Amino acid sequence: MTEEMILANATLVLPDETVTGSIRIVGGTIVDVATGPAVPVGATDCKGDYVSPGLVELHTDNLERHIQPRPKVDWPHAAAILAHDAELASTGITTVFDALRIGSIPSGQRYVRYARGLWRELWQLREQDALKISHFLHLRAEVCSETLAEELAEFGPEDRVGLVSLMDHTPGQRQFRDMSKLETYLKGKLGLEGDGFMQHVADLKAMRDRYGDRHEVETVQAAKRFGAMLASHDDTTEEQVRVSAGHGITLAEFPTTVEAARSCHDHGIKVMMGAPNVIRGASHSGNVAAQDLAELGHLDILSSDYVPSALLLSAARLGEIWGDFACGLRTVTKTPAGVVGLDDRGELRAGARADVIRFRMRDGTPALNGVWSRGRRVA
């Protein structure tokens, strides 16, 4: 028999409102959404808890953290993938675009190639039905590198590449316009300071001059070959946004200024900001605060970035800022699903994939009481 489940007497988070009602799930699909407090025989009484679509995460490097929990520590990949998958499920994320860097620097023995092999191992676990949630590949294509073209060639349409982001971390622009912030960051991450830091900066600038423009063109071409959506990263100026729009980009990851975010909306580009930025009230790199963009109406999507548990909490915070809880949750459900063409999820409606979470607000913090992926409880 096909398994059936009813979550009743819940506060349903719909795209434009919250209402008291119930959802009925058969197998992996939502088959009915009803309003009213009734609790049919055999249903689960949610006692007013929120029931929302599962969260959709477009950019997280959490898997990288699991495979390298400390500098120069390479953790067994299968164990890391399973731990990452379970952690995301425990935070309400039911669809993830795992962000893996491509573009290494062999001459400096930094940023070693890893994406091709790691994704192959993840795919094998998926084929074995060992993963709790839905995984897609997000290739973070670093144009300021030596091997980007070679690494792009290692992937094809069969790899489930859903998103490719054009990244340029050349010092002195975009995320790290403030060189003092970059030096602080690299001192903590790589132990670089003083003359070592200055040499690193010079090396990267020379590398960008040598490879950058060609890598940018090849990344745009590769995204088309994969059938993937192309995103920009850390746009700072109107000119950078204009270039992004010319590439056909429809998603801007973490624009660093109000100017860039406003220009993105003028060009029909959705703006994604980091959930940790919302929670902290500021960017760790000294760039524009996500809350400022939210108050200006220039924020569409949230990403957990480096803190998976921040995604649901930050969406609830946005709901408070906007005075519209459903609108806040839409930034982590329907809108991110729609921008990458996943029209089968991100919304509580008949016919949608049964990715569902149940939670209660406790002193402003959402506490999860259940997570279902395709109708199967995973947390």
Give the end-to-end CA distance of the chain in Å, rounded to a whole number. Answer: 23
Q: Same domain for 148 and 290?
A: yes
Residues 183 and 98 in one domain: yes
Contacts of 31 (CB under 8 A, 6+ apart): 24, 25, 350, 351
CB 290 within 8 A of CB 272: no
Residue burial 232-250, b: 16+ Cβ < 10 Å; e: rest: bbbbbbbebbeebbebebb
On whether both 351 and 338 belong to a single domain, the answer is: no
Total number of domains in the chain = 2
Calculate Rg over the CA atoms of the chain. Answer: 21
How far apart are the C-alpha atoms of 235 and 241, rounded to whole Å? 6
pLDDT of residue 177: 64
Residue with tokens 């996943």, as numbered in its chain = 342
Pairing of strands 93-102, 29-35: unpaired
Output the domain CATH number for residue 228: 3.20.20.140
CA distance 164 to 56: 16
Quickly list DSSP for 278-297. Answer: HHHTS-TTS---HHHHHHHT
- Amino acid identity at 200: H
- Report the amino acid identity of residue 63: L
Q: For the chain, what is the largest distance between any 2 Cα atoms, rounded to a whole number of angstroms?
A: 72
Distance CA 192, CA 200 (A): 8
Q: What is the CATH number of the domain that holds 11?
A: 2.30.40.10
Helix axes 77-90 and 115-127, enclosed angle (nearest 10): 70
Q: Could you tell me the two tokens for 219?
A: 């990344």
Do 374 and 227 sit in the same domain of this protein? no
Tally Cβ neighbours within 10 Å of residue 175: 23
Query: Phi first, then psi: what are they for 219, rounded to 5°?
Result: -70, -45
Successive 10-residue mean pLDDT values, the chain, 379 residues:
88 98 97 97 97 98 92 91 98 98 78 91 97 97 90 94 89 60 55 63 74 89 96 94 95 96 97 96 81 96 96 97 97 98 98 98 97 97
Question: Do residues 95 and 151 share a domain?
Answer: yes
Q: Which residues pair with 56 in a beta bridge?
A: 95
Angle CA 280–233–211, to nearest 5? 135
Co-location of 171 and 122 in the same domain: yes
- Side chain identity at 106, as an amino acid letter? P
In the 8-state DSSP scheme, what is residue 118? H
In one-letter notation, the amino acid at residue 76 is P
Q: Residue 235 corresponds to which tokens in the numbers above?
A: 């746009």
Q: What residues contact 149, with CB distance under 8 A and at least 6 apart?
A: 214, 215, 218
Q: Within this chain, do residues 271 and 227 fall inside the same structural domain, yes or no?
A: yes
Q: Classify 44 as helix, strand or coil.
A: strand
Structural tokens at position 231: 């995103």
Residue 225's pLDDT is 96
Residues 44 and 59 both lie in one domain:
no
The structure tokens listed for 192 are 């670089």
Beta-carbon contacts of residue 199 (< 8 Å; ≥ 6 apart): none
The rounded distance, in Å, linking the Cα atoms of 192 and 194 is 7
The C-alpha atoms of residue 200 and residue 187 are separated, in whole angstroms, by 12
| Residue 237 and residue 358 in one domain | no
Place of tokens 């590439």: 247
Are residues 297 and 336 located together in one domain of the fold? yes
Q: How far is CA 15 from CA 29, 318, 348, in A?
A: 18, 14, 8
pLDDT value of position 92: 98
Residues spanned by the domain of 103: 55-344
- CA–CA distance, 39 with 372 (Å, rounded to integer): 20
For residues 30 and 16, state if they share a domain. Answer: yes
Residues 270 and 298 occupy one common structural domain: yes
